[in-house]
Amino acid sequence: MRPQADPILMTTMRLPFIAANWKMFKTVHEAVVYAKEFRGAVKDVDDVEIVLAPPFTALHAVAEAVRNTNVGVAGQNLHWEREGAFTGEISAAMLTEAGAEYVIIGHSERRTYFGETDDTVNRRTLAALTAGLTPIVCIGETLDERDAGQTLDVLDRQIKGGLDHLTATQAALLVIAYEPVWAIGTGRNASPEQAEDAHAHIRTRLRQWFGAEAAEQCHIIYGGSVKPGNIAELVVQLDVDGALVGGASLDLRAFAEIVSKSRRAKV
Ligand code: 13P
């Protein structure tokens, strides 16, 4: 069950959502050591939705380590078929059985290195929703696209293609991660204004395509060089509902600080 914002205390119905994308880092042992210490570091945080996305090999062990805590677990990808001859892939049911409640879909590294397209993002998103997993769908423009003034067109294409056939009810459950490719792993984060411009545009499109209620409930989080030093100025933006953190999430102190600095920022 995903935690809900307290409608009386919060001006927005969306709790901040902070996720760690560990990418291809951490062995099972390293991941479990982290998870056990991390759950203690954030145990009193009841106003942030917190998620760890370990590599597949460590998923089950991390899920066990954070079971019955306020920390959830995500896969980093899934295949859209239920099962079959798809060497190297894993299914939604495999993820849920291993303890995942979330799954990252369409990360730019998958788009760049592994041939992910808006069509495959769409198939994976529908499969995740059907299985009861919360998709964290990644979109974002390259530097060339930004420089050419194409950012909003790229986002429109990725949202339209990636979220095709979803119902409004399904769209409301989504987490959309705006991750400008030029900000990932570069140390150069989008400015709060750049992030808010993109996020507000995404929410406008969600409103047009799925209705006002879905647009209000959907979390739109930012990813790209998020650190303890810049999270507060990002999540204070009206449409920035949290962050998907790569490099800085590998250090549990830094990630716990990012979680704590995103708390109640919107009250
Ligand atoms: P960095 O935080 O290392 O820039 O990575 C962002 C990212 O890709 C999260 O999915």
Which ligand 1 atom sits nearest the alpha carbon of residue 226?
2
Q: Sort 69 into a burial class: Cβ within 10 Å, 0-12 / 13-18 / 19+.
A: middle
* 72 C-alpha to ligand 1 centroid (Å): 18
* 182 C-alpha to ligand 1 centroid (Å): 10
CB contact at 8 A, 265 and 238: no
Phi and psi of 35, rounded to 5°? -60, -40
Closest CA to 222 of 210, 209, 212, 231: 231
Q: Give the per-residue pLDDT at 9.
A: 58
Ligand 1 contacts (CB < 6 A) are 21, 107, 179, 184-185, 223-226, 244-248
* pLDDT by position in tens, the chain (length 267): 788 876 665 555 799 999 999 999 999 999 999 999 999 999 999 999 999 999 999 999 999 999 999 999 999 999 999 999 999 999 999 999 999 999 999 999 999 999 999 999 999 999 999 999 999 999 999 999 999 999 999 999 999 999 999 999 999 999 999 999 999 999 998 999 999 999 999 999 999 999 999 999 999 999 999 999 999 999 999 999 999 999 999 999 999 999 999 996 554
pTM: 0.96
Quick: pLDDT tens for 210-228. 999 999 999 999 999 999 9
CA 110/CA 21 separation, integer angstroms: 13
107 is annotated as an active-site residue: yes
* Test site for ligand 1: of 22, 105, 186, 245, most ligand atoms within 8 A of the Cβ: 245
Q: 93 CB contacts (<8 Å, ≥6 apart)? A: 82, 83, 131
89 is annotated as an active-site residue: no
* Test site for ligand 1: of 17, 18, 22, 23, most ligand atoms within 8 A of the Cβ: 23
Q: Which two tokens stand for residue 154?
A: 């790229």
Which ligand 1 atom sits nearest the alpha carbon of residue 249?
2
Quick: pLDDT tens for 137-150. 999 999 999 999 99
Phi-psi region of 225 (alpha: psi -120 to 50; beta: other; left: phi over 0): left
Q: Domains in the chain and their CATH numbers?
A: 37-261 (3.20.20.70)
